[in-house]
Amino acid sequence: MDYCCKRAHAGAGLIFNRDDMVQICPRHFSPEQAALIEDLDARGTAVGVKRNPDAWHGMAWPYGPNVQVPMRLAMIEWAEKHKLSLVYRQKLSCACWPTSSRVSKCDCGPNGVKFAPDSATWDHVTRWKARRGGRAVVVLQPYRISDEGWETLTRWNDREDVAVEVRPDSWYGIGTLFVGIWNAEAAPAGAGRLERPAARVQ
Ligand SMILES: [Zn+2]
Ligand SMILES: [Zn+2]
């Protein structure tokens, strides 16, 4: 990792290019980079990303897009395409999130234990609601889907009110998969036809 200056090295830098992985601080943005960030702030706001005066960049981006601009752009384009809005502060870590109204705990699993894919599959998690409606999708972007995780997704996909979507083109990138557990009412065409992706060479 390279840095434009000490300020970027201290964590106040963004990566604009995955090929060079240089972290650049706002003071050293090119005019084009500054304009891009301003544009993404506005578009991020429109897909539910909140202002956060405590963050040096002023916005509460999810992990990944907070530092990597290509991820930020890919996330925004995906959310715009599906008319989604980011949801914050939801503790419920369960495949039921898109079809439930619970916020912290649910009764899905045996003995009231959450019915979530294992932690390797339940990675880089974000929750999204329809811009004019209820919960739409919980997105996982894991490096791999474990056997246990796949079984959970398959069982969950069998439900009438759920459509699971697995794609190779995640917005997190870096070799991760996109796994969307959609509320069937909000699901895009093609979701629900599950096909396990081939294992990737890491
Ligand atoms: Zn700098
Ligand atoms: Zn649940």
- Give the predicted TM-score (pTM) of the model: 0.91
Distance 190 CA to ligand 1 centre (A): 44
pLDDT at 15 > cutoff 70: yes
- Residue 113: the pLDDT is 47
Hey, what are 180's tokens?
Answer: 């969307």
Q: Where are the domains of the chain?
A: 2-69, 82-183
pLDDT at 82 > cutoff 50: yes
Helices (H), the chain: 6-9, 31-46, 69-81, 147-157
Could you tell me which residue, 109 or 150, shows the higher pLDDT? 150
**What digits encode the pLDDT tens for the residues 85-95?**
999 977 888 89
Distance 152 CA to ligand 1 centre (A): 45
CB–CB of 148/118 below 8 Å?
yes
Distance 166 CA to ligand 2 centre (A): 20
pLDDT at 71 > cutoff 60: yes
- Residue 114: the pLDDT is 57
> Taking all residues of the chain, what is their mean pLDDT, rounded to a whole number?
89
- Residue 33: the pLDDT is 97
Distance 106 CA to ligand 2 centre (A): 5
Distance 97 CA to ligand 2 centre (A): 6
pLDDT at 200 > cutoff 70: no
143, burial (CB in 10 Å: exposed 0-12, middle 13-18, buried 19+): middle
Distance 27 CA to ligand 1 centre (A): 5
- Residue 202: the pLDDT is 45
**What digits encode the pLDDT tens for the residues 107-144?**
876 545 456 667 788 899 999 999 878 999 999 999 99
CB–CB of 112/101 below 8 Å?
no
CB–CB of 184/163 below 8 Å?
yes
Residues near ligand 2 ion, CB 5 Å cutoff: 94, 96, 106, 108
Lowest mean pLDDT of 72-81, 112-121, 142-151, 152-161, name the range. Answer: 112-121
